[in-house]
Amino acid sequence: MEEQSQAYILVVTDEASNRDDLGKILQTEHRLEFIPSGAEVVNTVLERKPDLILLDLRLGGTDSFNLLQKLKELDETRDIPVILLTSNASVEDEERGLRLGAVDYLTRPFHNAIVTARIRIQLDLIKHIRTIERLGMIDALTDIPNRRFFDMRIKEEWRRTYRHKSCMSILMLDLDNFKKYNDTYGHPQGDRLLKFIGKVLMDNLHRPSDMAARLGGEEFAVLLGDTDTAGAVKVAEAIRRDIESGIVYTPEGEPTSITVSAGISSIVPAMNGDYMDLIQQADKYLYVAKENGRNRIAFKGQGPAA
């Protein structure tokens, strides 16, 4: 949500009057989507990640409180604010909705100024939170997530992958001879190179769930959900090739380049497993890649691969 006018609001209601009234009030400033069935909500939210959800308490065939509870139990949707739509909610209903995680109520008949103000409050709050998260979790030099963000995301991905009984992979990457590069060209040029590395990593990630992070210095990590070793090798090899062939010019126009080594670890999380084991295994294979000549990847069962 880069601007408030670009907010994507999902409205869950099966009443035509709600669609008409809210459309008139909101559609000039926001991007709205209306869905009539509670059965569609969770999958739609997981797929499209709206900025805000307006959920009608009076949904035919659906318990809206149960639906709200499901949204707040899922890691992927719990932080999306939900405003409940109601006609004559009792104090008990309001208390229950707020206790389950709703942020506010809108009562019919809808008044333009009240609807606009309450939605603006939530969207401004989202924008503020995202700004804080960005300042605290993005590496200032490369503009990709930092170690703090990585630690948070790998915990979330571990839980999600365990629930889905799928495989997740991690790449640990380290630039080869970066100290020598810095000594030769100077730290400002080293910073230019690190920015280039960040861009290469992002250019090779094509799914919203994938992420790259700078862990510190010349060390990077890539987290790949729903990806086995074979899939991770393809991503790692594409990154290795792009870094090897990339040229980063000095201010004087001198071409410079570097290579990278990577270790890969993949796992189907177990109930009593620890994601730190995944990281340690990837670190182990990164060391193998370095010991076997650098500019290569290494992983279980196949050793180093150039």
The verdict on whether 218 is a catalytic residue reads yes
Beta carbons of 266 and 227 less than 8 angstroms apart: yes
Active site residue: 29, 133, 218, 254, which one? 218
Q: Are strands 8-12 and 52-56 parallel, antiparallel or unpaired?
A: parallel
Would you name the residues annotated as active-site residues?
A: 218
